[in-house]
C-alpha cells in the first residue's frame, strides 16, 4: 500500500462528489447572493423584498439565499451600478432614469407630465413600453425582471418657498438624481439643478448646498427629508419606477428552476409593493403636514407649456426616436 500523503488525500477527496457537497457548512445555501438598494429599510420596497427573498429561500429548499442590503449600505446608486455590472452584487433596484446613464432609452417613463395616473403607468410599464425598455437593458449585459417596482409620482420640496407655477422654479438650487433627463427637465424649467445621489441628499439640503429636491412622498417620509424642508408642492411632474436588475452571468449560474422561482417571487413582491406605495403616497400628505411640511396643489398645464416652449419635448422625442416616442404616446395620448 502506498504511503498516505497529503497529495493522495486531496486527490481522493476531489474524486468523491459527496465530500465536496458535505464541505459546505451545514445550513449554508448553495447560492448566496446580494440585493442592494438605495431606500431605507422601512420603505415598502425593502419590506416586500424581504418577504420575496424569504419565499425564494423556502421554495428552493434553502439553495438560494438572497441577502438584502438597504439604504445605500453598499454605496451610492453610482457605486451599486458598477458593483452590479462587475458581479460584486447580483441584484440591484435602480430608477430607469438613472439607469439611462448606461441604457439611454430607459429614462423614457420620466418624460415630464407624460402619465396622468397609475392606470396609464401600469398599462405602459406592464405592456409595450416596459417590454421595449427591458429589451434595451438586456442588450447591456443586465437582466430586468418583468415587473417594475413603484417609486411614485414625484413632488417638489423646498426650504424657501412653495412652487405654485413654473416661474417659482426659476433660479431654484435643486437636487436632482444623477441622470440626463432630470437635469434637462429642470434646466428647461429654469432651475439650477445639481446631480446628487440620494445617499447625500439629506445633508446637501441640511447644509443648504441646495434649497430643494423632488421625490415621491414615500421617499420624503422614509428618508426624513421632510426634517430639512418646509414646503411640499404637489406637482406630480413625472412617474418614476425601479427596475429590479440582475447581473446576467450571476443569474444564469442559478439552475433553471431556481431562476424561475426567483423571477416569480420577486415579481410577486413588486405587485405587493406597488399596492403599498400607492396607498402610502395617498395617505402621507396628512402625516407630513403634521410634521410641519406646508402643502400646496398645482396644475400641470402651465408646467407642460413651459417645457414645450423650451423645446424639451421635441429634444427628447428626437433622442428617443419616433418608434419609442410612439409607444409612449400609445398609452398616454399625444405629447406636446
One residue of 72, 157, 184, 215 binding ligand X2X per CB under 6 A? 215
Min CB(293)–ligand X2X separation in Å: 17
Closer by beta carbon to ligand X2X, 5 or else 207:
207
| Site membership for ligand X2X, residue 177 (CB under 6 A) | yes
The CA distance from 19 to 27, in Å, is: 16
DSSP 8-state class, residue 12 = H
Residue 336: CB minimum distance to ligand X2X, A: 24
Q: Shortest Cβ distance from residue 198 to ligand X2X (Å)?
A: 3
CB of 190 to ligand X2X, least distance (A): 20
φ and ψ of 5, to 5 deg: -115, 165
The whole-angstrom separation of Cα 261 and Cα 239 is 29
CB of 331 to ligand X2X, least distance (A): 21
What is the distance between the alpha carbons of residues 288 and 221, in angstroms, rounded to a whole number?
7
For residue 124, give the H/E element and its range: helix 118-125
Q: Which of 72, 109, 151, 236 binds ligand X2X (CB under 6 A)?
A: 151
Chain positions 233 to 272 lying near ligand X2X, rule: CB under 6 A, are: 240
DSSP 8-state assignment for residue 4 = P
Q: How far is the CB of 69 from ligand X2X (least distance, A)?
A: 15
Written as one string, the DSSP assignment of 134-148 is HHHHHTTTEEE-SSP
Which of 33, 34, 38, 316 binds ligand X2X (CB under 6 A)? It is 38
Helix (H, G, I), strand (E, B) or coil at 79: helix
SS3 59: helix
Question: Is position 95 an interface residue for ligand X2X (rule: CB under 6 A)?
Answer: yes
Q: Does 193 bind ligand X2X (CB under 6 A)?
A: no
Return d(Cα 10, Cα 329) in angstroms, integer: 64
Instruction: Map the footprint of ligand X2X across residues 275-314, applying CB under 6 A.
Output: none
Q: Does 155 bind ligand X2X (CB under 6 A)?
A: no
Coil, helix or strand at residue 235: coil
**Contact residues for ligand X2X, defined by CB under 6 A:** 38, 95, 98, 151, 177, 198, 215, 219, 240
Amino acid at each position: 500500500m502506498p504511503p498516505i500523503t497529503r497529495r493522495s488525500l486531496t486527490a481522493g477527496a476531489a474524486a468523491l462528489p459527496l465530500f465536496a457537497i458535505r464541505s459546505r457548512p451545514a445550513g449554508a445555501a448553495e447560492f448566496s447572493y446580494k440585493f442592494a438598494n438605495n431606500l431605507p429599510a422601512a420603505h415598502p420596497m425593502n419590506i416586500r423584498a424581504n418577504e420575496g427573498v424569504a419565499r425564494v429561500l423556502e421554495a428552493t429548499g434553502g439553495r438560494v439565499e438572497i441577502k438584502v442590503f438597504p439604504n445605500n449600505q453598499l454605496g451610492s446608486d453610482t457605486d451599486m451600478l458598477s458593483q452590479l455590472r462587475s458581479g460584486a452584487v447580483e441584484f440591484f433596484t435602480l430608477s430607469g432614469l438613472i439607469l439611462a446613464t448606461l441604457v439611454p432609452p430607459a429614462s423614457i417613463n420620466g418624460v415630464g407630465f407624460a402619465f396622468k395616473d397609475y392606470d396609464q403607468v401600469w398599462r405602459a410599464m406592464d405592456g409595450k413600453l416596459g417590454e421595449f425598455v427591458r429589451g434595451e437593458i438586456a442588450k447591456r449585459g443586465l437582466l430586468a425582471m418583468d415587473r417594475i417596482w413603484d417609486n411614485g409620482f414625484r413632488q417638489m420640496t423646498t426650504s424657501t418657498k412653495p412652487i405654485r407655477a413654473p416661474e417659482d422654479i426659476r433660479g431654484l438650487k435643486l437636487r436632482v438624481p444623477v441622470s440626463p433627463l432630470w437635469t434637462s427637465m429642470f434646466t428647461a424649467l429654469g432651475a439650477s439643478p445639481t446631480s446628487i445621489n440620494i445617499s447625500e441628499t439629506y445633508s446637501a439640503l441640511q447644509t443648504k448646498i441646495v434649497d430643494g429636491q423632488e421625490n415621491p412622498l414615500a421617499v420624503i417620509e422614509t428618508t426624513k427629508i421632510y426634517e430639512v424642508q418646509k414646503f411640499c408642492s404637489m406637482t406630480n411632474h413625472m412617474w418614476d419606477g425601479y427596475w429590479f436588475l440582475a447581473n446576467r452571468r450571476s443569474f444564469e449560474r442559478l439552475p433553471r428552476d431556481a431562476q424561475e422561482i426567483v423571477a416569480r417571487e420577486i415579481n410577486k413582491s413588486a405587485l405587493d409593493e406597488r399596492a403599498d406605495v400607492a396607498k402610502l403616497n395617498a395617505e402621507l400628505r396628512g402625516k407630513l403636514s403634521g410634521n410641519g411640511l406646508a402643502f400646496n396643489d398645482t396644475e400641470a398645464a402651465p408646467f407642460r407649456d413651459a417645457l414645450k416652449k423650451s423645446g424639451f419635448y421635441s429634444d427628447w422625442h428626437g433622442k428617443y426616436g419616433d418608434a419609442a416616442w410612439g409607444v409612449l404616446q400609445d398609452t398616454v395620448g399625444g405629447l406636446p
